[in-house]
Structures are given as structure tokens and as C-alpha cells.
Amino acid sequence: MFKTSEIKAYKNNPRNNDDAVGPVAESIKQFGFKVPIIIDKNNVIVAGHTRLKAAVKLKLAEVPCIVADDLTEEQIKAFRLADNKVSEFATWDFELLDIELDNIACINMSDFGFLNVDILDDELEKQMEYLTQDTKTKKFIVKLTFTTEDEANECKDKLMSLGYENVDIA
């Protein structure tokens, strides 16, 4: 365990993570600090800037850390970037995600950025009923705002599964 006050953010961290601090803090609050921060021999963060910000927000005095003292300076720089970048290659299987979310009853998953799919389904059905009443000669533009790209893509996929075409994300 390391004191949060002794851990230093990497000054050239190119990742903008302020929007993720709240959900990460909520995750730590509900489940505990399960993923250690990775630091170098000088206590500078290699991976885990958001976790440190969340720990500070929660006023945690200490957090678990792994010291990456087996890496060269160049490897540390590369790992800092790779650790964040590789997660961008993962995608969601929305059918399996819906099943998993349906099986979580007592935890508010919107705290972690997940939409309440049942509410989304109900709202979309209401909108679809309205829009399909007389759309043969009319075109409608519906603007929705989401906090994450995943939410926008989830809504787009839902609309397309209902038969709507030309669903764009801007």
C-alpha cells in the first residue's frame, strides 16, 4: 500500500480522464480498490491516473500499487500509452450485455455509464409509435445527447434493430 499523497501523476499524461473519475470512484466505493495503480521506482504513475483521482475524491489515505521496476524508461513510456489504447479495440456484444444487465437487480449500473435499457426501450417504442403514424411523406430528425460514445452506439443499434435506416451519430 502506498500513501495517495506520495503518488505522482505523470506530467505528460495525454489521456483526458476527468469524466471517468466519478464512475471509477463509484466502482471503488461499491466493490473496493481491486485494480492496483502501477507506478515507477519514483512513485510516478505508469497506469492508473483515473484510479488515483478517484481515490483522492474518496479521500483514501492509501491505495494498492505495483512498482514496475522491471521496465526500462522507454518501456514505461510505451506501456503508459498501450495500457490506455488497447482497450479501444474491445467492443460490446449487446445481446450478452443486455442479459448481464438484466441479471443485476440491486446495483444501479447507470452509476458506471450504462443506460437503463428498459427505460430506453420504453421511450424508443413511444417515439417509434409517434414517428410511424405518418412518415411516408415526412422526414424527422431526432436529436439525442449521450454522455458516452458507447451509449450513442447502443441507441443507434437499437433503432436499426427496429428497422430504422439512416441512423447517424454526429
Domain boundary among 30, 64, 89: 89
Partners of 38 in beta bridges: 47, 66
For residue 154, the tally of other CB atoms under 10 A from its CB is 20
In whole angstroms, give the CA distance from residue 98 to residue 49: 30
Give me the domain span that covers residue 120.
94-161
**Quick one: 100 and 143 in the same domain?**
yes
Q: Cell 444501479 sits at which residue?
A: 108
**Quick one: 12 and 68 in the same domain?**
yes
**Quick one: 77 and 131 in the same domain?**
no
Give every CB contact of residue 142 below 8 A, 6+ residues apart in sequence.
Answer: 127, 131
The tens-digit pLDDT sequence of the chain (170 residues) is 999 999 999 999 999 999 999 999 999 999 999 999 999 999 999 999 999 999 999 999 999 999 999 999 999 999 999 998 998 888 888 888 888 888 888 888 888 888 765 555 666 666 666 555 555 556 667 777 777 888 888 888 888 887 777 788 87
Residue 73, domain CATH: 3.90.1530.10
**Quick one: 62 and 132 in the same domain?**
no
**Quick one: 6 and 69 in the same domain?**
yes
Asked whether residue 166 is domain-assigned, the answer is no
